Chains A and B, each alone.
Chain A
């Protein structure tokens, strides 16, 4: 299943690559031009970024107060009594570590972006077969770093999965299985199509959830703000339509099946 998603991602990179030279003439993109918040509000980057960061942290604390998900968490807490090695970690710890990883990538002179990594990886693999991507014409240390980043994700995630004991192989997520007919077939179609759209959309819009949002918003780039807010709004609309009238299903499946890191 994950393989199909990755196939969709790669296919998306090629699709984007074919249209990329036309983007400027279609008027959807201009090079090189960038717009960030500091000159607009006339505050230096440093203090503004710190202020935004602190404001966002306060917002997260408020979100935690009203989070309806904590009710579900308590309901399936029977399975949460595992050691730190087996159970899922909280948002505060993992969020903090992810923030540090973003900083670590920048400290190496690089940039943390998953789809960007996949594009670089596609370029390097294509290069082996003598094909050059128009959107990644030059292969150098930077593209190699990003390609390595995309490759590295897998052993990292697999290690965590192995430690959590999740190799019981759950091909179709329980929630999907409950909500939609067709089991494997319908999920496979959604994962493949979704992967394709994610690649094309991210490369067009300048990043994925990691590159444009988590790592992109801190740069205070207006383009990233537009991209991030658009995809969250559209993503929510898509999901609300998919689960139309069955919005309570998530809570039901999670508590009844007692889903956790290893079974979801």
Chain B
């Protein structure tokens, strides 16, 4: 639980520091006017992918939890989430 608290605090710090809590940064990426938020997210994704891949090849025993279900809910949830994201800007 302490681990979760610390991980959350670090992540919250990074999100704010990177400008990801700025309304105009999120809107910038959504309107394709300022891609910083997009570059941030894809960099994080890439680092995690390389890390997971390397851990898998080296048998480090660190493997991510994979989304356990499949169905229309991904599409429906995506639409609902997308409207919310556009409205709120976070």
Contact = CB atoms under 8 A, between A and B. Distances in A.
Interface of A: 5, 8, 23, 27-36, 44-54, 56-57, 59-60, 63-64, 67-69, 72, 88-92, 94-108, 110-112, 117, 141, 144-161, 164, 173-176, 190-191, 193-210, 212-219, 221-224, 226-243, 247, 250-251, 253-254, 259, 261, 264
Nearest to B60: A107
A89 B43 contact: no
Nearest to B22: A264
24 contacts: A29-B71, A46-B53, A59-B42, A68-B32, A69-B28, A88-B18, A89-B19, A98-B43, A99-B47, A108-B3, A149-B5, A152-B4, A155-B12, A173-B23, A175-B24, A176-B89, A197-B88, A201-B81, A226-B75, A230-B75, A230-B78, A237-B86, A259-B24, A264-B24
A31 B69 contact: yes
A33 B76 CA distance: 18
Contact of A89 (B7, B17, B35): B17
Contacts of B18: 88-91, 94-95, 98
Given A103-B52, A247-B31, A29 B14 contact: no
Contacts of B3: 108, 110, 145, 148
Interface of B: 1-25, 27-28, 30-36, 38-57, 62-90
B53 A45 contact: yes
B79 A112 contact: no
Contact of B25 (A34, A51, A149, A264): A264
Contacts of B80: 197, 200-201, 204-205
A28 B42 contact: no
Contact of B9 (A50, A153, A221, A259): A153
Most buried by A among B7, B22, B65: B7
Given A148-B8, A261-B19, A33 B70 contact: yes
B27 to A, nearest CB: 6
Contacts of A207: 67
Contacts of A197: 80-81, 83-84, 87-88
A199 to B, nearest CB: 8
A111 B65 contact: yes
A250 B84 CA distance: 19
A252 to B, nearest CB: 11
Contact of A47 (B15, B35, B57): B57
Given A49-B52, A152-B7, A236 B86 contact: yes
Contacts of B54: 46, 50
Most buried by A among B27, B41, B80: B80
Contacts of A174: 24
Given A48-B53, A157-B13, A234-B79, A209 B74 contact: no
Given A214-B44, A234-B79, A147 B87 contact: no
Given A253-B24, A264-B23, A100 B47 contact: yes
A162 B4 CA distance: 22
A152 B14 CA distance: 12
Contact of B82 (A148, A154, A234): A234
A240 B88 CA distance: 14
Contacts of B83: 197, 201, 234-235, 238
